[in-house]
Structure 1
């Protein structure tokens, strides 16, 4: 097999399967068994749900790090570099490690003559790297890519499963009702696996799903509400570039305590160690610019709440809000715009270089169909949109960049070049 670079491998993997997403475990299970990656030596936490998964994973990683436990995390999608998806003790894996894993997996895949999606292939890479290159790993944290029941990470038996929230998203794959979506997400709750649920509405939904399986029903726990002191500590967490949601912090804390009851889980120790990009992140010291990967109605509702609280407290300027928005075409776009529109002075809709993305032209048309045309504009890129904002905004204003991981990544890349 000829030596390929990481980028060549990623291009190669994308060509394996005609669909970006195909739920089901049959194909990947065949390869995983031959690779011997289904059984991991580490304790495993699987994190699923509609929103907040990345924050929970980052908090779990921080908890392991302050306790000097070897920890591996698998998340998706990435923002800047593919390597971000697999982290070992807080560091991204190298190109060489990924290439080695890809070579092993491809030999097995070819021998079995099966097609794998991009996500399935990269999930196998994460599992192989952790098991065979880092056998000392004490905690493996796996973020669900889509749904849960049929997601590739669900190959692995977990000690604890976390479901953050259930809201409408990915309805083409998960179902059109909250009960259907909850059914898919509850698939990560297995026999002898403790399950933590993020909020009461989600708990009620998952409880309905699991009621017919008494062993699962008995394992459900609603995350404990932080007491007043804990809530204050989370809200006043000045050492993070984003605002932590108490729910996600407590999910991570309690999941960790279920597995490592004798270890330190003090908020004051692990909150400063959390590293995550793209969540209510301030990236400019000139005109205040925030980026957030929120891309569904529940996420933007929470984003708006954080935004209003921060403006009321004086942490963010209270002037006009300029919104730069690029989204995937399969999202609940009209609902997302409806949530934020009353608070936005000017919209700039931008194109994203991805087949799944909705064009700025169609975004603009969807907006003006329900709102005022003079409050919206279009741009061919995130960078162009930001330049348009700079001609109008001043230091009392706020620029909000959101709608997709790609939108946020493009904005971060733009600032890395100009600053």
Structure 2
């Protein structure tokens, strides 16, 4: 137990961590690998969050050849899992040769709620709300002025009766358009101003019953902020390695059907989708936790958890698509502060939020196409373990020569950890 940890300097925090947890494993210089060489950039990083003791570095990669709505993108991705970038790149190249990806953003509305309890007459509450609704718009105008200039602002305000779910519970349901910003701070500021208006006016206007606003907050579930990406091609052109097109396409559709039928498969299936989506969301400085939560909630929209992607064959044409909520931004937050995020945005040619939604959805679709293709043909481990081989060799401390020898040996073989260790030990003369 320690009091006042947050008030310590970074050096003092490190010393405390070292003395309590690390001294028996590492030299005192252990934290040097966590420092950036640029002091100004390090200070910027330290200001992002609290109690920093260093930086945790993840690889930045790119996946080229994403042909989306007649434009070719190279997509930055941040993640640590082997084979994901290779798989995405392979799928992107395949579809660039088969008509590319096609996208449409259905809506960009985001949602916020004011959660309140009222134990009086329901009709009086709804009458009260209709009276003060113009005030809710008026008293948030100073907050929405800049957003309205950019075509955004508050789209709608409505009172919802939630008493069937929870006694005395009502909800002010507010929708917003936030342009190229993710808009969390904007939404929450508007909701808190509305809360003040509601509380003030309820005292003067409600004659019976007690109204209590419990909290006001945006929702990360954004089914109105929706993008669809799709690909299609004749089944005759769907040949995969030595499998002819009709067979491959038919097996692919069946694999997606399984993800719609069984929740155990659906979760792993959608995790693969999010391998691609999260990597781009992180690279562009967006909130991957919010995106994950919304995506998985959307997967239950039909009453149970199902696949985020859909596939079918119609008139000998293979169709594959994803529809997913994506509340992301290209301005505000880290997008203008973090130099690596700025670089990622420039690689993407400084997209609008709408364009970035399309790109992210296409990467998720490409990753799922690659994963399912592997599963129904040679299996997931063949490619994954070959990409993972470098990690195993680094873990074993193999030299460059030893790495090359082992990589050559496994060129046409399935990689397993035990076989790699056995071969490594043979080369080292330990067996």
Would the TM-score normalized by the shorter structure come out above 0.5?
no
TM-score by length of 1: 0.22
User: Greater strand percent: which structure?
Assistant: 2
TM-score by length of 2: 0.21
* Larger Cα-atom Rg: 2
